[in-house]
Structure 1
Amino acid sequence: MPYQSRWPLAPPNVCLPTFIFDQSGGNLQSAQRKVFLDAKRPETHYFTFSSYREWSKRFAAGLSAAGLRPGDRVMLFSGNSIFTPIVVMGTIIAQGIYNSANPGFSVREAAFQIKDCAPKFILAAPNCLQRAQEAVQMAAMDLGAVLLFEDIGLDELHWPQQTPIQHWTKLLGSSQASKELNWKELDSPEKSNRTALLAYSSGTTGLPKGVEISHYQIVSNIIQLERTLCSDKTVTNRRNLCVLPFYHGLGLLYYCLMSPKLGLQIYLMERYDLLTMLRHIARFRITELLLVPPMLIAMAKHPTARSGECDISSVRKIIVGAAPLGREVTERFEEIWQGRVRVRQAWGMTEAPALCLAWDECETSQCTTTSVGELLPGVEAKLIRDDGAEETKQGQAGELWVRGPNIMKAYWRNEKATTETKTSDGWLKTGDIALIDKGKWYIVDRKKELIKVRGAQVAPAELEALLLEHPQIIDAAVIGVKNITGDEEPRAYVVARNKSMISEAQVEEFIQCRVSKQKRLCGGVVFLNSIPKTPAGKIVRRELRDKANREIRNGNLSQARL
């Protein structure tokens, strides 16, 4: 029998703009409350709830006047900006589909996504502009689709009048056009299932795939997050610092769409930087943080965070998502607040946006835990055995399958991938190995990442958590490499704080005395300057496997030992 959330959910059939702008009820103190603020220039660069609505409608009016048709895509190729929410909501109001690209993309990576989704317009930041133009040419598309996207003043008198390439403000309609525009209502299941966002999966196990997310699914997830992550109505004046990128599904849905609906105040950082983040927390008295594991690991080990040099005592809540996090690292991080703050992990994926498992804010447990909480409202789950045919027995781990109103619509123009990942009755095969204990869920590892050691399954995440307990190791990743018999053995890639203070043999010994025989690092230890990761903080093991294969072929590194 599937596991059920303790909260039922019946989301309304409504378009996203109506849900956010017209159904906010008493959640907002005032239409003039500031909802998005540039952390570098909060006094001059901000949007109130009212101006957010007006500017979104202006952008929608401009897009429609420029020829955007229902279902056309608009791509943003940029880091975070207070104008990102305007582009997102304006595109959706104009009945387009919003899509974003990682500003760190190479020309080849950008060209792949551009060719796949064929955007009508591409808004590129100055540092992305040349790559965008080259990618458009590589994808054999019209260069006229590319516009320069940069921060502007809210005063139109200071907008650029002439630029080498068309400026994105050309797509902003007038204030009068904003007043005259009415968005199309979506008041039936068929209509509310229209695609609003096209988010690309990280491609950790293959080429990235476009994930279609509908109005209904976004509305559902906002309600789910409100009823769990923001369930304590006695908490007022929440102040969030957005350090996650908007081009990632979690950052986009949590900060760009849910937060204004709930009237939360969001200070935006263009990009993540640890010391800048600490200073912003102190300056703005930030109360809540949403992080990914690399950020938390860096913060736990950085002397500035631990010394009290920056006053970060205002933080009340920290949520970590995207990848499993070990208990020891979590405890070290919590020491910064001397036990006043507990880290709460959550789980979701691009195909199950933004979260499906999280902690109820009202739950008062003060224990440090690696659990990702419980099922969000309206979500079902089951754990499937390796053969894919049956559910596991009580207490056993298995592949996590989830079903709920927030689960993706489909992969963009990829029916084969959709049918392989989502069953005909709506179950999403996540590829994550999970278990449930006393009502709380735990993510063990990725199904495809488990290392098969002489018939036993070894979870890389367990070894990575142990490696991070070593004071001289600041980051780590573990993969399986083949030995001469064809079996796999664990190999660790580690980033050392000071390479002269630690050796490969010391790392092996550190693990050997803490684990059973099959989990020992018989595949060896390799020091790197950095671990390859996606923007969300997930380890790109494919790159490490490719590296190991090259090293073995070239004779630079031996195969795993027996």
Structure 2
Amino acid sequence: MLKNPNYLYGPDDSVIPVKINLGDYLVKGYKKHGDKVAMINAVTEEQITFNEMVQAAMNLAVSMVRLGVKKGDVIGICSESRLEIWPTVLGLTCTGAVITPISTGYIKDELKHVLNISKPNYLICSKQAYQVHETDFKSLKCIKEIIFFEEERPNGALYYKDLAIVSPTSILTENVKIEEFLAVEVDGGTETAFIMYSSGTTGLPKGVMISHLNLIGICAARDICDPKLNVLQITPWYHSMGLMVMLMYMYSGLQLVFLPKFELDFYLRSIEKYKIKKLLLVPSVILAICKTSFSYDVSSVEVIVCGAAVLQQDIIQAVKSKFKNLIDVYQGYGMTEATLLVSLSSYVNRQKCKPGSIGLVTYNTIVKIADVETRRPLGPFETGEICFKSATLMKGYIGKDLSEDLDDGFFKTGDIGYYDDEKYLFIMDRLKELIKYKGYQVPPAEIETLLLQHEGVRDVGVVGLPDALAGEVPLAFVVPQPGACLNEAELQKFVADRLSNPKHLRGGVRFVEEIPRNPSGKILRKHLREILQNEKNTLH
């Protein structure tokens, strides 16, 4: 009956409704913001208000049910970022259907892998996505109907606006009235709202089932969003960091400006044009901004939130030199399996930003640091595996027993970290990505952080190179700055002068054009290891 002194407890005073249908919850929440502009496409300058979004969502929900969509049907959405996606997401959740966002960037085998996991009954897509994946979509017998966002579509195919916007060609003859609208009843605690896909940094993506309650728990969290700060967003919406953040932010009434495709110059121009106050970024974009000269007025930016990997103090200082009115860079930690967040430094309640920290444990969440061998809960400054339990912990993986990933009810993240005497969390590296050098555990992220301080390095990824005597030795893949004259010995000495002996680049340096990353900015180290394996195979 007493709290464990070695656990970290987040606040637990958020309010969860008795009627747990995510669509019902979001429709009522978004409606409160009325005719305020909810979202703007920075490229086309199209915009949509909260009222327009809710109306289109209710219309689409009723139209889809009339088409035969029922609770539990799986509906895939495959499209570049566009305004129509959000009324679609909102409406589909009201039907009790399960939404699965699909990356437009998947190649054939990846696409077939994820679609064979979720087996969608319907697909809603853009013309562009369909042109790329038409053959694969048609090969799936589970798909009954494909609906298009554009009017230009194959003969007989359904059109989004005919479902969501009342017109002479639409299914509905008049708009659905909110006082007459009723979302399909679901058991929000156990029924799935979304099938997401894990990042796949260590293998093929897994199907992650997110319940209605999981997402309501995210939206209901207090002191995370300040509705006075408009946000510029570039994270893809098929990724949990993009999708869940958007749902949460709009529920709070924030105005979101988005770029369908990231291009640095246009991104900076958009900050100036829309006087953006808050940026949601990953480290790779922050580094690109820090190492780019520009003359755009970005003085409106007050807050930057960074996820996917930890920024060190020197990079944060470089960011502050670019954004003169920046209060601070607030860092967080999460994963698809957590729906979104495990910890966060919050601007809203003025938490201080500790250098290198990923903040305090977030709402309705408990964290323990477990000894990797004994699983004993550890105390302050003791390093072990980060584990958590939460109202936002996924329902489970499709086709996999969740108990395999639990430790006394806590989800094992595979991340290594610790907390300090003020309960701030710090992350060191992935458990599976630690380089094992003569019994020492070497975090690649520490070497990467150091190398990024070198003026000639634009980007970097570090992996372990197999070694007969040492087990593994650190090797760095480096993207040089344009015009920089770098050599292997220079970078090896740079590291050797600043880090302890096990962390020296005994595996050498490979110069490459880019570091492979997933949409959230995490380094795909398995791809780097594949390069090394291909080199080995070529030599033999």
Same fold flag (TM > 0.5): yes
**Structure 2 residue aligned with 1:11:** 16
Matching residue within 336, 341, 352 for 2:322: 336
Q: 1:529 to 1:487 in 2, by over 3 A?
A: same
> Which residue identity is paired with 1:449?
E
Determine if contact 2:330/2:347 at 8 Å carries over to the other structure.
Answer: no
Separation in 2 of the partners of 1:365 and 1:4? Answer: 16
- Give the CA deviation at 1:10: 5.3
- Give the CA deviation at 1:295: 1.0
Query: Per-residue displacement from partner, 1:16-58 (whole Å, max 9, x unpaired)?
Result: 2232232569xx5x5111112222233xx22211111110111
- Give the CA deviation at 1:401: 0.5
**SS at structure 2 position matched to 1:267:** strand
Separation in 1 of the partners of 2:29 and 2:132? Answer: 40
Determine if contact 1:324/1:445 at 8 Å carries over to the other structure.
Answer: no
Q: CA RMSD in A?
A: 2.2
Matching residue within 229, 235, 239 for 1:238: 229
> Which residue identity is paired with 2:450?
L
1:167 and 2:173 matched: no
**Structure 1 residue aligned with 2:168:** none
- Give the CA deviation at 1:273: 1.6
Determine if contact 1:212/1:410 at 8 Å carries over to the other structure.
Answer: yes
**SS at structure 1 position matched to 2:238:** coil
1:94 and 2:102 matched: no
- Give the CA deviation at 1:441: 0.8
5+ residue gaps in structure 1?
A: 151-158, 557-562
1:434 and 2:435 matched: no
- Give the CA deviation at 1:339: 6.6
Determine if contact 2:303/2:326 at 8 Å carries over to the other structure.
Answer: no
Q: 1:455 to 1:23 in 2, by over 3 A?
A: same
Q: 1:171 to 1:177 in 2, by over 3 A?
A: same
Separation in 2 of the partners of 1:202 and 1:487? Answer: 27
**Structure 1 residue aligned with 2:270:** 280
Determine if contact 1:21/1:261 at 8 Å carries over to the other structure.
Answer: no
Residue correspondence of structure 1 range 523-542 to structure 2 within 5 A? 523-542=507-526
1:217 and 2:222 matched: no
> Which residue identity is paired with 2:8?
Y
Identity of counterpart residues, as a percentage?
28
**Structure 2 residue aligned with 1:184:** 184
> Which residue identity is paired with 2:37?
K
**Structure 1 residue aligned with 2:40:** 37
- Give the CA deviation at 1:215: 1.1
- Give the CA deviation at 1:124: 2.4
1:229 and 2:224 matched: yes
Q: 1:164 to 1:539 in 2, by over 3 A?
A: farther
**Structure 2 residue aligned with 1:195:** 192
Separation in 2 of the partners of 1:311 and 1:303? Answer: 12
Residue correspondence of structure 1 range 18-29 to structure 2 within 5 A? 18-23=24-29, 28=32
Determine if contact 2:330/2:353 at 8 Å carries over to the other structure.
Answer: no
**SS at structure 1 position matched to 2:77:** strand
Mean Cα displacement is larger for which, 362-371 or 347-356? 362-371
Determine if contact 2:239/2:519 at 8 Å carries over to the other structure.
Answer: yes
Matching residue within 205, 210, 228 for 2:202: 205
Q: 1:69 to 1:24 in 2, by over 3 A?
A: closer
> Which residue identity is paired with 2:416?
I
- Give the CA deviation at 1:521: 0.4
Matching residue within 397, 419, 422 for 1:411: 397
1:515 and 2:499 matched: yes
Determine if contact 1:107/1:134 at 8 Å carries over to the other structure.
Answer: no
Matching residue within 466, 469, 473 for 1:482: 466
**SS at structure 2 position matched to 1:351:** helix
- Give the CA deviation at 1:94: 1.2
TM-score, normalised via structure 2 length: 0.92
Query: Per-residue displacement from partner, 1:465-487 (whole Å, max 9, x unpaired)?
Result: 00100111110000011113261
**Structure 2 residue aligned with 1:251:** 242
Q: 1:339 to 1:468 in 2, by over 3 A?
A: farther
Query: Per-residue displacement from partner, 1:503-530 (whole Å, max 9, x unpaired)?
Result: 1111111111111111000011001100
- Give the CA deviation at 1:164: 7.9
**Structure 2 residue aligned with 1:459:** 443
> Which residue identity is paired with 2:445?
A
**Structure 2 residue aligned with 1:74:** 75
Separation in 2 of the partners of 1:67 and 1:109? Answer: 29
Determine if contact 1:384/1:390 at 8 Å carries over to the other structure.
Answer: yes
Determine if contact 2:223/2:349 at 8 Å carries over to the other structure.
Answer: no
Separation in 2 of the partners of 1:175 and 1:534? Answer: 44
- Give the CA deviation at 1:171: 4.0
Residue correspondence of structure 1 range 362-511 to structure 2 within 5 A? 362-364=348-350, 369-412=355-398, 414-416=399-401, 418-423=402-407, 426-437=409-420, 438-485=422-469, 487-498=471-482, 501-511=485-495
